[in-house]
């Protein structure tokens, strides 16, 4: 079995270790004896969604997002069809914002893909810190780092997780990210997948099932190290003393 | 000098003494804070007392080394130079450097000031300091949890430059992001750059900033990359291209692990082991020339200059050479990997990653470093340590490179010093540097007695 992973515009969107998400998809397929093909779609390249099983849309700066937006408008309809048909998408930071209707940056309103019923507005104080989520889809807490100026309203859509520590979509909603069909949009980088292998396998399973039309049971992998890296962060923020010290440090 | 300024200086000095007496740290930032609270204009008052020139150095990588070269060149010419060499490069640290250097009458008797300025602090420091020259080494991604994103760093520096329109900018024109300051701004300027391909493939990370033209948003074309986004670029759409630099290094040769090169007809046999130190030297020379500083012993200064600076040190422990390197961001780390790969012999590596505020709480940058080269580098053991050791191990796992983790670096070092591999490389990020340096010095001493 083989999956094709399209990395959209790595020449423009490549912040916050996005490459780690690709690497995680690829290795976790290879370690199971499955094949992986990475298809970097550079700005200006065309994309054939019928040959793609996973789409990764990463983070970029406001300026780069503006440039990306132009390219996205050209593939808007096909991208939307792919999502409605159950295509797997992981969108992080800037990529997440662009899946919505618009991103109102400091200077202007950037039109998004309108795939998710969400909207984002820029606010002066960036939301930057470690973040931990609880998601009903996953047994292990999801850990990562957030760094965004945009505040995202997800309206009636389902969030990716409930914020245990950190700020999330707006800094006050208590929720983070957005899930729609097989799309996960999130501000979590760090990168997201290596420390949250359950999320990676969830997306791989969805992509394999969509492509091969059968129920897939993924082989178990030894995730001891992944669990350790994840637990370090979870334990750190379960410790109320630590959280208090960090909060005091932040405001002094 | 106003009474208020004098009071500020005296209180700052008293604070410094008190901190030292109480043994509560090195006392490099609090005195500056005290002085500023008493006299908000203290930095301007101080800067105006500098007899000759004030130089500031900024940039993601190479600030400390470059500032140190400037300091040594000017000092060797017999000048008294104020310098914030301790790495205290935020506003309070800079004020401390000035006020603590004053005489008993609270006045400064200095010819030059060489000041390293953090990019974020630049907006508040430059307008007060009104430097004659502002040197910029380069801009790349660094501590995104502090800076937000590279474009924001760019905007911050631009605002700082615009606030001091008569300051001469010393700009690396191989870096299109740095060069944009000259296109978009009005300051007088001098450029430097290197036209030869001196960096190898390994030191070029795949991760680059701003390879899109800032004029017309077209993708830039490159004849070659030095590293990061530095290289020979041009835009086929609007005609923007890397200009001919005012100062350049030529005849660059690497012999016996060190580089020699020629700048402005001056042949320099340096002790630099890495190509980025050629950039640092070149930028310092360009600055001195731009200032028309009288530096008769420049060649000697540069040839005797120790690029180590406690950030690149070699220790001899038992029969092993232990190389300690500081790496804080992907561009810097990539250069270290290139350096390790130049050593073809068997070796061990320790990677020490912390995530304190100083280091950057976000360790995602580890994924922007091309570690895959280490799988083919004749490496015996790789050991990770520090508060984010598992993140580092995970990074290596996803390149299929085996490693182990430890919380006791001393035992690990001692174990490896007993094996027969000639070299051990230790790469640390910021907060681990001081303790590791101390540990290695102690082990070196113990091993020799």
User: B152, A130: Cβ pair inside 8 Å?
Assistant: no
Active-site residue, selected from the candidate residues A7, A148, A189, A200: A189
**What is the pLDDT at residue A62?**
79
Q: What is the pTM of this model?
A: 0.83
User: Are the Cβ atoms of B362 and A145 closer than 8 angstroms?
Assistant: yes
Residues 114-173 of A with CB under 8 A from B: 126, 128-130, 145, 147, 149
Look at residue B364 and give its three-state secondary structure: helix
Burial of B201 (0-12, 13-18, 19+ CB in 10 A): exposed
> Among all chains, which residue has been given the structure tokens 């178990």?
A220
Give φ, ψ of B193 to 5 degrees: -175, 165
Q: pLDDT of chain B along its 449 residues, tens only?
A: 899 999 999 999 999 999 888 876 666 788 999 999 999 999 999 999 999 999 999 998 889 899 999 999 999 999 999 998 656 888 999 999 999 999 999 999 999 999 999 998 999 999 999 999 999 999 987 777 666 678 888 999 999 999 999 999 999 999 999 999 999 899 999 999 999 998 887 777 666 666 788 888 888 999 999 988 899 999 999 999 999 999 999 999 999 889 999 999 999 999 998 899 999 999 999 999 999 999 999 999 999 999 876 567 889 998 899 999 999 888 889 889 988 998 899 999 999 999 988 888 999 999 989 999 999 899 999 999 999 999 999 999 999 999 999 999 999 999 998 888 999 999 999 888 888 999 999 999 987 76
The complex's ipTM?
A: 0.96
Residues of A with CB below 8 A from B390's CB? 225, 228-229, 232
Indicate the DSSP class of residue B115: E
Handedness of CA B169, B175, B181, B183 (dihedral sign): positive
Neighbours of A241 (CB within 10 A): 7
Class of domain A2-250: alpha beta
Interchain pair A16, B390: CB under 8 A: no
pLDDT tens-digit series, residues B210-236: 678 888 888 899 999 998 889 999 999
Q: Where are the domains of chain A?
A: 2-250
Which residues 127-156 of chain B have a CB within 8 Å of chain A? 141, 144-145, 148-152
- State how far the Cα of A53 lies from the Cα of A206, in Å rounded to an integer: 9
Which residues in chain A touch residue B144, judged by CB atoms under 8 angstroms apart? 15-16, 147
pLDDT digits (tens, 9 = 90+) for A131-188: 999 999 999 999 999 999 999 999 999 999 999 999 999 999 999 999 999 999 999 9
The answer to whether residue A189 is catalytic is yes
A148 flagged as catalytic: no
CB pairs under 8 A between A and B: 88
Tokens standing for residue B214: 């800032």
Domains annotated on chain B, with CATH: 3-304 (3.40.1190.10), 312-447 (3.90.190.20)
Cα dist. A221→A32, A201, A203, B257 in Å? 8, 10, 15, 44
Position B86 scores a pLDDT of: 58
């Amino acid at each position: 079995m083989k999956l094709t992973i399209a990395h959209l515009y790595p020449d423009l969107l490549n912040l916050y270790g996005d490459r780690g998400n690709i690497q995680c998809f690829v290795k976790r397929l290879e370690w199971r004896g499955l094949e992986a093909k990475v298809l970097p779609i550079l700005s200006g390249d065309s994309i054939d969604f019928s040959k793609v099983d996973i789409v990764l849309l990463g983070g970029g700066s406001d300026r780069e997002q503006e440039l990306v937006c132009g390219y996205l408008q050209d593939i808007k309809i096909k991208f939307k069809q792919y999502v409605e048909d159950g295509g797997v998408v992981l969108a992080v930071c800037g990529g997440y914002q662009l899946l919505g209707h618009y991103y109102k940056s400091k200077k202007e309103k950037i039109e998004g893909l309108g795939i998710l019923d969400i909207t984002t507005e820029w606010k002066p104080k960036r939301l930057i810190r470690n973040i931990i989520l609880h998601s009903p889809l996953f047994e292990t807490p999801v850990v990562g780092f957030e760094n965004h100026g945009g505040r995202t309203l997800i309206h009636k859509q389902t969030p990716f997780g409930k914020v245990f520590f950190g700020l999330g979509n707006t800094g006050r909603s208590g929720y983070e990210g957005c899930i729609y069909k097989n799309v996960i949009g999130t501000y979590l980088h760090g990168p997201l997948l290596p420390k949250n292998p359950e999320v990676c396998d969830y997306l791989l399973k969805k992509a394999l099932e969509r492509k091969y039309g059968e129920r897939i049971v993924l082989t178990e992998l030894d995730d001891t190290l992944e669990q350790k890296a994840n637990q370090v962060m979870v334990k750190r923020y379960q410790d109320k003393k630590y959280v208090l010290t960090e909060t005091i440090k932040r405001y002094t | 000098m106003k009474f208020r300024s004098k009071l500020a200086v005296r209180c700052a000095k008293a604070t410094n003494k008190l901190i030292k007496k109480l043994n509560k740290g090195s006392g490099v930032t609090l005195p500056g804070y005290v002085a500023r609270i008493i006299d908000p204009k203290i930095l301007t008052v101080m800067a105006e007392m500098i007899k000759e020139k004030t130089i500031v150095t900024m940039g993601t990588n190479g600030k400390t080394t470059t500032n140190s070269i400037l300091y040594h060149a000017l000092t060797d010419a017999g000048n008294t130079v104020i310098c914030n060499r301790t790495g205290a490069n935020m506003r309070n640290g800079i004020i401390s450097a000035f006020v603590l250097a004053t005489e008993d009458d609270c006045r400064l008797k200095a010819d030059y000031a060489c000041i390293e300025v953090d990019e974020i602090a630049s907006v508040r420091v430059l307008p007060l300091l009104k430097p004659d020259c502002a040197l910029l080494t380069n801009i790349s991604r660094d501590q995104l949890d502090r800076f937000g994103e590279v474009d924001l760093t760019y905007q911050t520096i631009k605002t700082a430059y615009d606030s001091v329109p008569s300051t001469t900018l010393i700009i690396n024109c191989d870096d299109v992001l740095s060069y944009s300051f000259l296109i978009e701004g009005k300051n007088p300027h001098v450029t430097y750059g290197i036209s030869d391909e001196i960096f190898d493939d390994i030191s070029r990370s795949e991760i680059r900033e701003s390879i899109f033209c800032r004029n017309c948003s077209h993708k830039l074309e490159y004849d070659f990359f030095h590293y990061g986004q530095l290289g020979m670029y041009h835009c086929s759409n609007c005609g923007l291209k890397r200009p001919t630099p005012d100062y350049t290094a030529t005849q660059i040769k690497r012999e016996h692990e060190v580089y020699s090169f020629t700048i402005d007809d001056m042949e320099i046999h340096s002790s630099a082991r890495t190509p980025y130190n050629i950039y640092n030297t070149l930028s310092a020379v360009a600055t001195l020339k731009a200032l028309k500083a009288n530096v008769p012993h420049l060649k000697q200064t540069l040839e005797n200059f120790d690029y180590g600076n406690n950030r690149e040190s070699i220790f001899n422990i038992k029969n092993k050479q232990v190389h300690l390197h500081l790496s804080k961001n992907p561009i810097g780390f990539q250069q270290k990997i290139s350096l390790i790969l130049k050593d073809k012999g068997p070796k061990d590596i320790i990677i020490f990653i912390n995530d304190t505020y100083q280091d950057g709480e976000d360790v995602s940058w580890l994924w922007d470093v091309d570690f895959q080269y280490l799988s083919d580098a004749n490496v015996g053991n790789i050991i990770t340590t520090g508060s984010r050791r598992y993140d580092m191990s995970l990074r290596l796992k996803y390149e299929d490179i085996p490693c182990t983790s430890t919380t006791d670096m001393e035992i690990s070092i001692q174990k490896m010093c007993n094996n027969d591999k000639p070299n051990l490389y230790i790469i640390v990020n910021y907060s681990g540097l001081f303790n590791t340096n101390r540990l290695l010095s102690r082990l070196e001493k113990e091993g020799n007695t």
